[in-house]
Every structure is written in C-alpha cells, then in structure tokens.
Amino acid sequence: MPSLTDLAVRVEALEVVIEKLQGSQNGDSLQILRSEAPEGGAVRFEGSIDLPDNSRIDWVMSHPASGLLAADWAEIAPTLAALGHPVRLHLLQHVLNGTRETSALVQTLGEGTTGQLHHHLRELTSTGWLSSERRGRYSVPADRIVPLLIAVAAAGGPDTGQDGA
C-alpha cells in the first residue's frame, strides 16, 4: 500500500496533467507552447476545419524558432510567390470550397481563358499548393489547408471577430 507521501506526489502529478488538459480545452495553446518549446522558442500553427465536402482537417505543426531564423528564406520564395497572385488565391479558394474540375474553375475566372487557368494551376501544383487528383481535377493537399488559411488570416484576411491570445 502506498504511503501518504507517495499518494500526495501522485495527486500533484495528476493535477499538473489536468491543468495542462484544461488549458488545452480553454484554448491556452500559448502557455502549452511556452512549456514545451525548445530553448529559443518555437512557432506553432494549428487548425481544426470542417470543409464543404464534409471532411475534417485537424492539423498541428511546430518549428523551433532557431531553425526558422537560420534557414535560407530565399528557398521558399517560389512557394510564397505562388500565393501572391489574385487569380491563384481565387482558384485556391474555389478548390477548397468544392469547385475542383478545370471546366468549372475556368467559369469562375469570368473572362479568363483556359490557357490562363492552366498557367496558374501549374504554378500552384509545382509549389505544392494544389495537387492533381486526376486529369482535370484538383485539390488542396491536406497538409497545406491549414497553412493556406493561416497565410490568408496573417495577411489580413476576412475579420471573423475572433481575437487571438
């Protein structure tokens, strides 16, 4: 039978776990990140999204700040540049909302041509923002959905009325 001291230690450990879990449920992810981050800090982004096709994406990614600060950012310029065109953002938004066939996507461009559409689709697929499910059908890869929405929000996307920590 455990001693009272052993039981007190166990209860204290359980209280720490419960506090972490409650913090997580209350959206206190910043406190959790601070407690788990390596020396120098970290960046974490996460999302839980119900998509129009009734699929759900739950996604979390963390990066040590030291690695991000030391990396050659020029290497990711093409990936970021692909998001810098209004037509490409328009296409990504439509694909996320369920318009995935090229025949339907060209209609969303208004006066855009099929050639212009394919140019933009190539840019988005070559940088990983889109993938071709089969000929003429595209999707945003699951591991890019949350980062894409974070980029839109960070760039001053639509205000949802929800403030961060």
Domain housing 131: 73-154
How many domains are contained in the chain?
Answer: 2
Which residue do the tokens 């089969």 mark? 134
105 Cβ neighbours under 8 A, 6+ residues apart: 91, 94, 95, 99, 117, 121, 138
Q: Tell whether 67 is covered by a domain.
A: no
Q: Tell whether 50 is covered by a domain.
A: no
Q: Tens of pLDDT along 22-74?
A: 555 545 777 777 777 788 888 888 899 999 988 999 988 889 999 999 999 99
- 134 and 86 in one domain? yes
- 31 and 86 in one domain? no
Question: At 103, which CATH number?
Answer: 1.10.10.10
Average pLDDT over residues 138-165: 82
CB-based contact 140:92 (threshold 8 Å): yes
Q: Tell whether 59 is covered by a domain.
A: no
Position 22 scores a pLDDT of 59
**CA–CA separation, 112 vs 119, rounded Å?**
11
Give the predicted TM-score (pTM) of the model: 0.75
- 133 and 82 in one domain? yes
- 150 and 78 in one domain? yes
> For the CA atoms of the chain, what is the radius of gyration?
22
